[in-house]
Amino acid sequence: MTAPTGDELARLQAEAQSAYRDLRARLPELSSDSIDVILSGARSHYAWKDTPVSDEQLERIYEITALGATSMNTCPARFIFVKSPAGKQRLSKSLKEKNVDKMMSAPVTAIIAHDLEFWTHLPFLFPHEDRRSFFEGKQDYIESTAFRNGTLQGAYFMIAARAIGLDVGAMSGFSNAIVDEEFFSGTSLKSNFLCNLGYADETALFQKLPRFAFDEVCSYS
């Protein structure tokens, strides 16, 4: 893919700037209810209603997620949607016992992974400058960039799912090594965390746990 230059680049920049100004004019900030849905009032869920999640919903979640910012537009995250009974059985091998029922009862469990070969796609993702040399042969930098930005995309994914009306329950109580062997053997993908998706059974919720106050964890410099 060839990066735009000259008049074409100026046109695209002007369109992007105008679109952003228009967006901010239309919606200077989200309503309190909207913020509640995606973060303030949102909960991590462990029990699920027997209501399916469609492929169209999963595609919409990805399309929203993909627009979130990553370093150099690296977009290293990869999402594997485990829906079938066979896929759930394979995934269950990796889970701690207390997490098996949570995963098996969810309509979909997403494996949030990252691709350690993300940098080979930079000519497409970052066409105006070839930055593959930043990564080639630098395994530590590759791994840290993939993990950090893949995790960031995983957070976008959870917010996007809530934004379109689904509930989420992220899980880290599993063996990454078993997931990688079961689902990614022979590939450049590595698992990060799991995220159950569906319509929550809210009767399983308990009270929201405490959070630190601003002055306990924030400071100015």
pLDDT digit string (tens) for 41-99? 999 999 999 999 999 999 999 999 999 999 999 999 999 999 999 999 999 999 999 99
Average pLDDT in the 172-195 region? 98
The CA distance from 200 to 45, in Å, is 6
Mean pLDDT of 104-128: 97
Cβ within 8 Å of residue 187, ≥6 positions away: none
* pLDDT classification of 128: cutoffs 50, 70, 90: confident
- Please report whether residue 80 resides in a domain: yes
- Global pTM value: 0.95
201 within 8 A of 47, measured Cβ to Cβ: yes
Q: Tell me, yes or no, whether 154 and 139 share the same domain.
A: yes
Q: What is the DSSP letter of 77?
A: E
Does 183 lie in the same domain as 163?
yes
Is 213 among the domain residues?
no
Residue 4 belongs to what domain range?
1-30
pLDDT averaged over every residue in the chain: 96
Q: Is 154 left (phi over 0), alpha (psi -120 to 50) or beta?
A: alpha
Residue 216: its H or E element: helix 214-217
- 22 and 37 part of one domain: no
Query: What are the angstrom distances between the C-alpha of 129 and each of 25, 118, 203?
Result: 32, 16, 52
pLDDT over threshold 90, residue 162: yes
Question: In whole angstroms, what is the distance from residue 42 CA to residue 37 CA?
Answer: 6
- Max CA pair span of the chain: 60
Q: How far is CA 98 from the centre of its chain?
A: 24
Instruction: Verify that 129 and 89 share a domain, yes or no.
Output: yes
Angle 32-206-83 from CA coordinates, rounded to 5° = 85
| Residue 3: per-residue pLDDT | 84
For residues 98-127, average pLDDT? 97
- Phi then psi for residue 208, to 5 deg, are -70, 135
Tell me, yes or no, whether 136 and 170 share the same domain: yes
The predicted pLDDT at position 1 comes to 63
